[in-house]
Structure 1
């Protein structure tokens, strides 16, 4: 199983909004970047995903799960959606500054491809960020 990270501006869609969506989850939309789209297309049901607050907060705040694999966003458009449901919050949000300060995360996409809204996360990176977040 792969791991991922998705970014959302809290003023547009926050962790609290994701939690409020409940077990039915919600589609992840607004992604109009080819690399991010390919990452979404690679996601499989059951995979775990870090939920990152971008622009405000700059921190991994929770974990969501892929509950529906990619499907077309709108007819005739090349973009896709993936549905997520909230799994659990991180007891301690892991800030971008903390990630950058951790030498073993120097190659993490969050550091090297900061602007990419949907990113792969290696198993080792997943374990480190979870530990940093109190899981």
Structure 2
């Protein structure tokens, strides 16, 4: 099993919307960064995901989801009316993928980015989301990072 962190702006799609989705499951569309897409292509059904709220008052980890469906072409890349449309994407060789995720649980509180940063010199020293300049919406998480963060809940 692998572990991941996936960022979403709660004003666009937060953990509450995931909880209200049919079967608490949704497609994670709109990823338009090649490295994040490549990470998504590594995801396997059953992998665990920290659902991270970004660009909000208190950014941080809001809960846990699981990958329900492995990477497949993101249909929004072909929809000219959609914000995620990419005119350079070819239906014969799609450029962008998505995965389906299902809510496992919401945390009682958001584990804030500031709290995670307090451990950046210790247990979370190599965590990608805490690296200066990192803006990727999807990053891998090590098993030890995962276990430590869960202990903060």
Tell me the TM-score range normalised by the shorter chain: over 0.9
Does the 8 Å CA contact 1:22/1:85 hold for their aligned counterparts? no
* Cα distance between partner residues in 2 of 1:54 and 1:24: 20
Residue matched to 2:123: 104
Normalised by the length of structure 2, the TM-score is 0.83
Residue matched to 2:87: none
Q: Which has the larger radius of gyration?
A: 2
Does the 8 Å CA contact 2:24/2:103 hold for their aligned counterparts? no
Question: How do residues 1-135 of structure 1 correspond to structure 2 at under 5 angstroms?
Answer: 1-23=1-23, 25-56=25-56, 57-74=58-75, 75=91, 76-102=93-119, 103-112=122-131, 114-133=134-153
Which runs of 4 or more aligned residues in structure 1 lie more than 3 Å from their structure 2 counterparts after TM superposition?
none
Normalised by the length of structure 1, the TM-score is 0.93
Does the 8 Å CA contact 1:10/1:53 hold for their aligned counterparts? yes
Does the 8 Å CA contact 1:21/1:85 hold for their aligned counterparts? no
Gaps of at least 5 residues in structure 1 are none
Encode CA deviations 1:87-122: one digit per residue, 9 max, x unaligned. Answer: 101223211111110121121011016311000000
SS in 1 for 2:44: coil
SS in 1 for 2:11: coil
Q: Could you tell me how far 1:24 is from its partner in structure 2?
A: 5.7
* Cα distance between partner residues in 1 of 2:116 and 2:96: 30
Encode CA deviations 1:25-73: one digit per residue, 9 max, x unaligned. Answer: 1100111011100110000001110000001121100101100100011
